[in-house]
A = this chain, B = another copy of it.
Amino acid sequence: MSIKNAFYAQSGGVTAVINASAAGVIETARQHADKIGNVYAGRNGIIGALTEDLIDTSADSAEAIAALRHTPSGGFGSCRYKLKSIEQNRREYERLIEVFKAHNIGYFFYNGGGDSADTCLKVSQISDTLSYPIQAIHVPKTVDNDLPVTDCCPGFGSVAKYIAVSTREASFDVASMAKTSTKVFVLEVMGRHAGWIAAAGGLASSQDCEIPIVILFPEITFDKAKFLAKVDGYVKQFGYCSVVVSEGVKGEDGNFLSDQGLRDAFGHAQLGGVAPVVANIIKDGLGLKYHWGVADYLQRAARHIASKTDVEQAYAMGKAAVEYAIAGHNSVMPTIDRVSSAPYTWKVGMAQLANVANVEKMMPADYISEDGFGISEACREYLLPLIEGEDYPPYKNGLPDYVRLKNVAIEKKLEKFEI
């Protein structure tokens, strides 16, 4: 049997550590050159496979691949593109097989979240339905932390650390200013469906560093009166407070709080974030001076303050994916299995993709405090190990020295394919 090549691609929103998973895949494959040939990366995810735009990762040195471990974003480009079912678009699957055949690809590593797991599952099924031998392994990644089976998702720990650190820092700032100026700082964070990232804001306050923080979770319907009472109480007690608000918070009408129907002077609809909306509610309701920030991409790209735990887990997932492939597995995903929280220990496990695709893991109800504005001790115990440790990138001239790969395309062998 000839040695098969591997295909690797990044999918969906990128993270501070998805490239660490890429390094795990490529370095592990290189260590098993007797079993896996070259690793071809899809330029811009699955689109690279469909259009036969395959990057020859062997063109990059061991040093460059190792530098992926400390480089945020998707080194090969990502995409938001979901394959339809084989019944709905058989041509796309046939095309994938043509590309795999043309380049002797027998392994499919797909690095993404829930939608990508679904794509990976579909590809794994080609093996049967279109009679082409391909082993499809999903490499978990999502800042939303909403994949099932695995205890946590690579990407989340670093966002959580960024939000916890930033909330602590901004809270120190507003505490200094509160006497004559700003009394409330509002920080908008990601998480349209689940409040995992917002919950991380709660870590900014600890037993030896108490900070009044009000968290607005997407899981909890916004109650203006209750919210204002909470902020008012904290400001009276501490002199200031911080608010961490998830972009996905909804009002009693079921609409996103951010969707306030804002219009400019000419009546044009304007898109805003939820942070200014919450800030305005505080101003109108309590007359307090505020500042607000929106972390947006900064939170998920912040490799400079990545969690060491997260970096190690991201790398381990890429490595395990290759090892599972070599062991003959198909349609699986390596997982992070927590053994204990204190001290934190974990091991690599395995999930069947059928149990992962299209399942969204929500935050347990008992992770939110009774009043709905904070995190419980159970939540803190879950989150703390995930932000543990620092893993600083190297710097050059005051800036992180992130790698850009050559990303050389291999020669195309097939006709052009329109997607």
- A209 close to chain B: CB less than 8 A: yes
- Hey, which chain B residues are within 8 Å of A71, CB to CB? 172
Taking chain A's interface residues, is the majority helix, strand, or loop, or is none over half, making it mixed? mixed
B301 touches A398 (CB 8 A): no
Copies of the polypeptide in the assembly: 2
Give the CA-CA distance A293 to B181 in the complex, in Å.
23
A307 touches B398 (CB 8 A): yes
A399 touches B206 (CB 8 A): yes
A177 touches B78 (CB 8 A): yes
- A183 close to chain B: CB less than 8 A: no
Q: Which of A264-307 contact B (CB under 8 A)?
A: 264-265, 268, 270-273, 275-277, 279-280, 283-284, 291-298, 300-305, 307
A264 touches B270 (CB 8 A): no
Nearest CB in chain B to that of A168: its residue = B399
Give the CA-CA distance A74 to B177 in the complex, in Å.
8
Give the CA-CA distance A71 to B209 in the complex, in Å.
13
A interface residue count range (under 10 / 10 to 19 / 20 to 34 / 35 or more): 35 or more
- A60 close to chain B: CB less than 8 A: no
B73 touches A297 (CB 8 A): no
Q: Which of A370-419 contact B (CB under 8 A)?
A: 384, 387-390, 392, 395-400, 402, 404
Q: Which of A27-35, A119-127, A159-167, A221-229 contacts B (4 or more CB under 8 A)?
A: A159-167
Contact bitstring A150-194, B, C-beta under 8 A = 1, else 0: 000000000001001110111011111111110001010000000
- A80 close to chain B: CB less than 8 A: yes
- A77 close to chain B: CB less than 8 A: yes
Q: Interface centre among A47, A161, A264, by most B CB within 10 Å?
A: A264
Give the CA-CA distance A271 to B276 in the complex, in Å.
7
B298 touches A293 (CB 8 A): yes
Q: Which of A211-246 contact B (CB under 8 A)?
A: none
- A261 close to chain B: CB less than 8 A: yes
Contact bitstring A32-63, B, C-beta under 8 A = 1, else 0: 00000000000011010000000000000000
B271 touches A400 (CB 8 A): no
A387 touches B398 (CB 8 A): yes
Contact of A179 among B77, B173, B277, B291 (CB under 8 A): B77
Give the CA-CA distance A363 to B157 in the complex, in Å.
40
B180 touches A72 (CB 8 A): no
Q: Nearest chain B CB to A21's CB is how many angstroms away?
A: 14
B294 touches A203 (CB 8 A): no
Nearest CB in chain B to that of A279: its residue = B271
Contact of A169 among B10, B75, B400 (CB under 8 A): B400
Known: A166-B301, A270-B280, A273-B292. 19 other contacts (CB 8 A): A10-B176, A71-B172, A73-B175, A74-B177, A78-B177, A79-B179, A79-B181, A161-B398, A165-B304, A170-B297, A172-B402, A187-B298, A203-B399, A206-B397, A260-B265, A262-B264, A268-B284, A270-B276, A293-B297
